[in-house]
Amino acid sequence: MKIRRRNNLLVEPPHSATSDIAFILIIFFLVCASVQPDSGRKQTLPKSEEQPEKKQQSENPEVGVSRDGVVLNGNPMKMERFGSEIKRVLAQKKREVDKVVVLKSKPNTPYERWIEVTNLVQKAGGIITLQLEEQRTVSVD
Amino acid sequence: MKIERKKYNATVPSMAMGDIAFLLLIFFVILARVQDDSHIQWEPARIDELDQAKNSKASVIIDADNKAYLNGREVGVASLAGALTEILGESEAGKRTILLKVHKHATATYFEPVIEAISEAGGDLLHVLEDERMKN
């Protein structure tokens, strides 16, 4: 008769490293959460000049942005139409210099509207330059 | 007769050394990379196509109260161009990215001078935005 030898040794996984593993996992997920790469949109802005040439400026398309709408070369239009219009205008420009679009924003223009408009200009191949309102100092005697 | 005492081999356990080194490494990586601006309240605007930010030198935030922050510290717009010029130093082209995080309802009065300051300092501007397709 064959007697089977029983080998019932209690084998337990070591618990000493469990806290280390947990700690490392916490740090790993913390790093993943905090070092998420930012994403957005690049924007090339030409260096500002104090006195741009008047002749050249008049040849560049002018876009006015406000809270309520957008104006292209003096013509107010809806956002849906602006995308195709700016594309058409910029397609006629051959030189890189002429593709500079002068952007004038009303002071109350919200950023999300501004981004929407500049995004359409950039998609159409335009280079944005900002025209800021000059600040005047009036001295009173 | 002299009875010899039993000698015990006392060594410092080196099993955890790898763990300790790893933790220190992660600690310094976090310290080097995270600029703490998590306390600033702002909500990004949304567009459909986004680029990934690489090698950014600094971040400028305009929060919900229209206050400007440079790397998490409040800054005046007048001194922003100078501070950015100092940060950018002699960095070569392509490594001069400045992240601009503007609250979506902030108005042009506040964000346009900041954009102008970044341009003046010679920074490569990257608007930090959210993907419109990730809306819900």
pLDDT score of A137 more than 50? no
Which string of DSSP letters, residue by residue, matches chain A? Answer: -PPPPP---------TTHHHHHHHHHHHHHHHHHTPPPEEEEE--PPP-SS--HHHHHHS-EEEE-SS-EEETTEEE-HHHHHHHHHHHHHT--STGGGEEEEEE-TT-BHHHHHHHHHHHHHTT-EEEE-PPPP------
> Is the residue at B6 inside a domain?
no
pLDDT at B65: 92
> Is the residue at B7 inside a domain?
no
> Which tens digit of pLDDT belongs to each residue from B32-83?
655 567 778 888 888 887 877 777 888 899 999 999 999 888 999 899 999 9
* Listed ranges A70-74, A129-133, B35-39; the one with the highest mean pLDDT: A70-74
Dist CA A109 CA A89 (whole Å): 23
Contact B104 A110 (CB under 8 A): yes
* B52 and A56 Cβ atoms separated by less than 8 Å: no
Query: What is the residue whose two structure tokens read 């219009």?
Result: A85
Q: Which range has the worst mean pLDDT, A71-80, A120-129, B19-28?
A: B19-28
pLDDT at A8: 66
- Identify the DSSP state of B113: H
* Listed ranges A53-57, A68-72, B92-96, B103-107; the one with the highest mean pLDDT: B103-107
Dist CA B110 CA B113 (whole Å): 6
pLDDT score of A3 more than 70? no
pTM over 0.90: no
> Which tens digit of pLDDT belongs to each residue from A79-124?
888 989 999 998 888 888 888 899 999 999 999 999 999 999 988 9
Dist CA A114 CA B115 (whole Å): 12
pLDDT score of A19 more than 70? yes
> Is the residue at B35 inside a domain?
no
> Is the residue at B29 inside a domain?
no
Identity of the residue in B50, B56, B111 whose CB atom sits nearest the CB atom of A111: B111
pLDDT at A47: 60
Strands B56-62 and B97-102, sheet pairing? parallel
> Which tens digit of pLDDT belongs to each residue from A44-68?
776 655 555 444 455 789 999 998 8
Contact B106 A31 (CB under 8 A): no
> Is the residue at B37 inside a domain?
no
> Is the residue at B98 inside a domain?
yes
Interchain contact A115–B (C-beta under 8 A): yes
Chain B residue nearest residue A24, CA to CA:
B23
Interchain contact B46–A (C-beta under 8 A): yes
Query: What is the residue whose two structure tokens read 């998609």?
Result: A123
Counted domains in chain B: 1
> Is the residue at B16 inside a domain?
no
> Is the residue at B124 inside a domain?
yes
pLDDT at B21: 80
- Which residues face B58 on adjacent strands? B98
Domain range for B52 is 46-135
